[in-house]
Amino acid sequence: MCGRYSNNGEFSNIKVMFGAKDELFREWTPAFNIAPSHGPGYEQVIVVPSAEGRVARLARWWLIPGWWNKPLKQLPTAFNARAEDITEKPMFRDAFARSRCLVPATGWREYTGPAGHKQPHHFHFGHQLFAFAGLWSKWTSPEGEAIESFTIITTEPGEKSAAVHDRTPLTLLPEHYDAWLSRDAEPLEILEIAQKQHLGLPVEIYESDPLGNSTRFEGPEVIRPLRAQPGLF
């Protein structure tokens, strides 16, 4: 499960890298300690297709399916979607078929150890921008507010990542972006290709500062190596 990630890239770089136009409804700030939330004020950048190409939008990191008709506090855990389940689970299957997105990121964290003493491990690709495979949705609240949300797809890890956790967010290579976003593509086909290729990606891992275990803390210290020589694997 991926419950924290970083996107401290500049928005201008995100637009260039993903070829996306700006459709943010407010200013966005790069962040090191992004946590899931279905509430307002914590929206993050996603990239979605439009009639004129790709656009960057802000969405809540906790998928709210369009058919949801209960209070948001009753939502099941929906900030991650297991790749093995997304064609069957009602929470995700419609979005997988029609509403796939890219989630820009610069890293993510997984944890080891007992509750109360969790040790975070930071995963990254040279601290450079990349994209998670995501699903997104549009939902209208009882008050008539249009809300967009997303989830990050998780899958089995490669050997290096498996030393820390038994799941990993699915990273997409740039050559897969168009197919992933296209409604004309066969989603299962591109999903299977991406799952195979992500196993060999050159991920870097190190133990990071537990300061970031608190969702209240935000700053570069969150991804600071715990030891002077990062890289345990």
Give me the phi and psi of 178, to 5 degrees please. -60, -45
Q: Which fold has domain 4-223?
A: hypothetical protein yedk fold (3.90.1680)
Measured between its terminal Cα atoms, the distance across the chain in Å is 20
Q: So what's the pLDDT on residue 232?
A: 42
Of 85, 178, 66, 198, whose CA–CA distance to 132 is shortest? 198
CB-based contacts of 64, cutoff 8 Å, min separation 6: 38, 72, 75, 78, 137, 139, 147, 149
Q: So what's the pLDDT on residue 17?
A: 97
Q: Which residues are paired to 137 by β-bridges?
A: 149
Residues lower than pLDDT 70 in the chain:
1, 228-233
In the structure encoding, which two tokens stand for residue 19, read together? 């070829």
CB-based contacts of 167, cutoff 8 Å, min separation 6: 1, 2, 80, 82, 154, 155, 156, 157
Per-domain residue ranges of the chain? 4-223
CB-based contacts of 127, cutoff 8 Å, min separation 6: 106, 107, 223
The answer to whether 132 touches 170, Cβ cutoff 8 Å, is: yes
Q: How far apart are CA 183 and CA 151, in angstroms?
A: 18
Q: So what's the pLDDT on residue 233?
A: 38
Look at phi and psi of residue 19 and say left if phi exceeds 0, alpha if psi is from -120 to 50, else beta.
left
Q: So what's the pLDDT on residue 231?
A: 45
Q: What would the pLDDT profile of 46-88 be if each residue is shown by its tens digit?
A: 999 999 899 999 999 999 999 999 999 999 999 999 999 999 9
CB-based contacts of 37, cutoff 8 Å, min separation 6: 60, 61, 62
Q: What would the pLDDT profile of 201-225 be if each residue is shown by its tens digit?
A: 999 999 999 999 999 999 999 999 9
